[in-house]
Amino acid sequence: MNNVNSSFNMTDAYESTEHVYFLGIGGLVILAITLLFNLRQSDIPVINKRKWYEFGTEKAVHRFNSNATNLIKEGIKKTQSAAFYLFADNKYRMILGPKYANIIRNDTRMSFRWWIFDELHGNLPGFEPFKELAHTGIINDMIKTKMSHSLDALTEPVASETVASLKTICTEEQEWHTLKLKQAIAAIVAQVTGRAFLGHDFCREPAWRDDIVRWSYQMITAARELHTWPKFLRPIVVWILPSCKKLRETVDVARRNLEPVIKERHATIAARKEKGESGEAGSCALDWLEEVAQGRQYDPIAMQICLAFVGMDTTADLVFHVISDLSQDQELINALREEIKSTMEGKTFTKQELQNLKLLDSVIKESQRLRPTGKVSMHRIANETLKLPGDIHVRKGTYLGISTTHMMDSSVWPDGEHFDGYRFLKLRQNPEKANTALLVSTSPDHLGFGYGKMACPGRFFVANELKIILCHFLMMYDFQITEPYEKHSGLYGYMTSPSSDTEITLRRRDASSGDAW
């Protein structure tokens, strides 16, 4: 009893001191942020700078989060497509006009991997997958040396997994029924991508699929919340924020689910090697990572989570956008179905047949043009202080990227604000631009996959996966989206995000008619 009373007395004694302490810390944080915001980085303008009557940076950050597109357009106009700053999430971000895409594309003084590490808190618990991506380089090596050379071998497994996932998630119900589009697509892509990364059996485990989808959504929420805190406080705040706690719990669950699978896989491969047998070794990323690592230390669980995220997140978003765009144009859907039927007569997929789906290739690239992952691409962090043409001084540690608003500009693309599924199919007829019209091609005018040395290395696999998923979806289902088109997607800061509320109404097509699969 005395101990209990003592405890309460101790609380009473320190209560006011504790409040003063935290108020003091809070005041110092606000002061530090205010001073940071008022510290001029250079002569480069800050577009969403703090108003003279505003204390702190909250309203400036709100303007960025709610109106980044117009702020970027204002900056492009004000600087004649040179360079400007936006203040967001307690840091300045340098935005460069599209003319700088060619200048920075292969500049090794800037890093995309380290930008991901810093932007997505790779040094903090729960975000370990991004530490693996930045520190080891194993994922990039695996994609370039293994996955990109295995596209033919992966095509049929990905196709069969697509059918299995569609039948499970979209069902075979021939009556109209409704699903949340974003959630359904995320689950489908997670399972299909998992076939390439984890093999046949485990990719169909609902627990793993749910882990990955859950971690992806939780990670984005937690990362945004952490960005509202100064960087020096994040190692403390990460242990307090509920969103970060949920993220760590999901990583722990994923570890428990995946660890036995990895151990069993490695043991099986080792046993086969001892016996001189071939078998399934080298058929998925579990094996490729081990081969490519060549003794480098890595966390296989965190690596698989990272692979699943980068393979699922932007791919699922692009599938969402294509279906959203197609829902507005039944004639285009019919034309795509005709192309698929004439090209894929045996319903078997090869790399060459996928390349022959030229209208589908054009449709996907057009959706990506109108709604890239964000209004800024080619993200980098400066590894050293440097100078760019136009007397632009970039300090070490600066976040920078290229504006993508020109991708919707009618001065670059005729009638650029509107969707034209045939745009890139027609562009193929121009010998000078035919190569840039392909989905996997990159150029300063279309930064959907980035540009230059650090362009997305997995885009060839992603392009095949997108076509396989969309082929099966179009041939297996009739669908419609009644929600107004402009509500299908939204923006947070300069990042494009499909709406979680968008519903799709669909039904299984009658395969006996010969016009459906």
DSSP calls for 440-489: T--BTTB-BTB-GGGS-TTHHHHHHHHHHHHHHHHHHEEEE--S-GGGSE
Q: How large is the average pLDDT for residues 361-382?
A: 97
Chain segment 184-226, per-residue pLDDT in tens: 999 999 999 999 998 887 888 888 889 999 999 999 999 999 9
Q: Nearest 5°: phi and psi at 280?
A: -90, 0
The pLDDT, as a whole number, for residue 17 is 38
Residue 261 has pLDDT above 60, yes or no: yes
pLDDT band at 25, cuts 50/70/90?
low
CA atoms of 9 and 336, how far apart (whole Å): 75
CA atoms of 75 and 500, how far apart (whole Å): 30
The pLDDT, as a whole number, for residue 133 is 87
The pLDDT, as a whole number, for residue 436 is 94
Give burial (CB, 10 Å; 0-12/13-18/19+) of 404: buried
pLDDT band at 29, cuts 50/70/90?
low
The pLDDT, as a whole number, for residue 169 is 97
For residues 71 and 47, the answer to whether their CB atoms sit within 8 Å is: yes
The pLDDT, as a whole number, for residue 279 is 53
The pLDDT, as a whole number, for residue 58 is 87
Q: How large is the average pLDDT for residues 475-501?
A: 91
Query: Which is higher by pLDDT, 237 or 36?
Result: 237
CA atoms of 46 and 192, how far apart (whole Å): 43
DSSP annotation of 46 reads B
For residues 503 and 180, the answer to whether their CB atoms sit within 8 Å is: yes
Q: Does residue 389 sit in helix, strand or coil?
A: coil
The amino acid that residue 466 corresponds to is L
Chain segment 462-479, per-residue pLDDT in tens: 999 999 999 999 999 999
Q: If phi over 0 gives left and psi between -120 and 50 gives alpha, with beta otherwise, what is residue 81?
A: left
Query: Which is higher by pLDDT, 174 or 284?
Result: 174
Residue 151 has pLDDT above 60, yes or no: yes
For residues 177 and 507, the answer to whether their CB atoms sit within 8 Å is: yes
pLDDT band at 28, cuts 50/70/90?
low
* Residue 456 assigned ligand-binding role: yes
If you average pLDDT over every residue of the chain, what do you get? 89
Chain segment 249-259, per-residue pLDDT in tens: 999 999 999 99
Residue 94 has pLDDT above 50, yes or no: yes
The amino acid that residue 357 corresponds to is L
CA atoms of 348 and 186, how far apart (whole Å): 24
CA atoms of 364 and 439, how far apart (whole Å): 7
| Tokens matching residue 264 | 């069993």
Q: Is the Cα dihedral 424, 455, 64, 241 positive or negative?
A: positive
Give burial (CB, 10 Å; 0-12/13-18/19+) of 43: exposed
The length of the chain in residues reads: 517
The pLDDT, as a whole number, for residue 5 is 41
Start-to-end C-alpha separation, the chain: 75
DSSP annotation of 179 reads E
Chain segment 266-308, per-residue pLDDT in tens: 787 778 778 876 555 557 888 898 889 988 899 999 999 999 9
DSSP states along 60-78: HHHHHHHHHHHHHHHHHHH
How do 489-492 and 495-498 pair as beta strands? antiparallel
Residue 147 has pLDDT above 70, yes or no: yes
For residues 393 and 387, the answer to whether their CB atoms sit within 8 Å is: yes
